[in-house]
Structure 1
Amino acid sequence: MNADGNSVAIGLVEYPAYGSYAECMTRAFFAGLSTFTIVFSGTFFGQRLLKKNTVFSSKKRTILASTLVASVASYYVASKRVTLCRKSWTKNGKD
């Protein structure tokens, strides 16, 4: 990393604002992970509380349904945040 902390030289190519890009990507993936955890917990406990009204009465099916819903939500959040990181890095690289 350079003295200013804004760019990293890898081989012969210099990548401007790599530090902020790496931080943004880390935050994006942790946002996806936390989304998975929160949505899984909410879906699982919601189904368990409404057990008599749901189609998924067994514990395995409840876990499977919660995992599928949480995976979709997590993918959506992480992909949107990663797209924003890439656009931001591209914009900063043109300066």
Structure 2
Amino acid sequence: MTRTARIGGPIALAVIGAILYFAVSDMIEAVDLTMIGLILMIAGAVWLVIELIVNRRRSAVTSERTSVRDPRAPGGVTQSEREVRRDEI
């Protein structure tokens, strides 16, 4: 199962907030559009961070190296390596 971060929504929310904060100069009575833009940008950033944390890769790789004395092997030592990958869902 492949997990992907869904970052389109948070980026769109932050962009809409930036447009309201920086580009809109119209005034609506009893509504502060710059404050709404700032709130949307902060909410988009928090949402993006949460998406990236929740969907980060969760795996661990363990390497194990073993040396065994073997008189028949060249140099008298045989080495083996084993790598174990454990993925958490």
Calculate the TM-score normalised by the size of structure 2.
0.41
| Larger strand fraction of residues | 2
Calculate the TM-score normalised by the size of structure 1.
0.39
Higher relative contact order (CA 8 A, sep 6+): 1
| Larger helix fraction of residues | 1
